Every structure is written in structure tokens, then in C-alpha cells.
Amino acid sequence: MEFFQFLDLSVSRPEATKKVWEYIRKHKLQDSKDRRMIKVGGTDSGKIFPGKKIIKMFDIAKGLKKNLKD
């Protein structure tokens, strides 16, 4: 499943960020030791995070910025 497939890309960036965090928590994608790190390796995140298995939580905003309108 693509990491942001569940997301309606016509929503605002703050709303999209909220939805992404809901998804991360629901699927327990935060690293248990360092909660700032998000596991995206089990998802098809190639379009947004090419070649990455773990990203920093701040990378989510960067990924959304490239894929959403303001």
C-alpha cells in the first residue's frame, strides 16, 4: 500500500498532516525508541520518500509539500 494512498490530496496541508499522523499511529509506524522516526519501509513510499525505510517526522511535511497544493 502506498504511504499516502489513503489521503485525499485536495485537502489543505494541515488537514493532510493530521490524517497522516492518524495513519502512522493506527499502523504503529513510529519507532518505539525514537518516536521522531517513522518506519516507511513496509509501505510503497517510493514516490514520496524514494529509497528510504525510516524517515524523520519532519520529512513528512516535506513530502506533503511536494504533493499538495497550499
pTM above 0.85, yes or no: no
On whether residue 33 sits in a domain, the answer given is: yes
State the pLDDT at residue 1.
Answer: 38
pLDDT by position in tens, the chain (length 70):
355 566 666 777 788 888 888 888 888 889 999 999 988 876 656 566 777 788 898 888 787 777 666 5
Q: Is 27 inside any structural domain? A: yes
The enclosing domain of 21 has a CATH number of: 1.10.245.10
Per DSSP, the three-state class of 66 is helix
Gap between the Cα atoms of 18 and 14, Å rounded: 6
Q: Classify residue 19: in a domain, yes or no.
A: yes
Domain that holds residue 25: 13-67
Q: What is the pLDDT of residue 4?
A: 58
Split into its structural domains, the chain has a count of 1
CA distance 16 to 8: 8
Predicted pLDDT of residue 20: 82
Q: Kindly list the distances between the CA atom of residue 24 and the CA atoms of 9, 17, 21, 57, 70, in Å, as whole numbers in the listed order.
A: 17, 10, 5, 10, 22
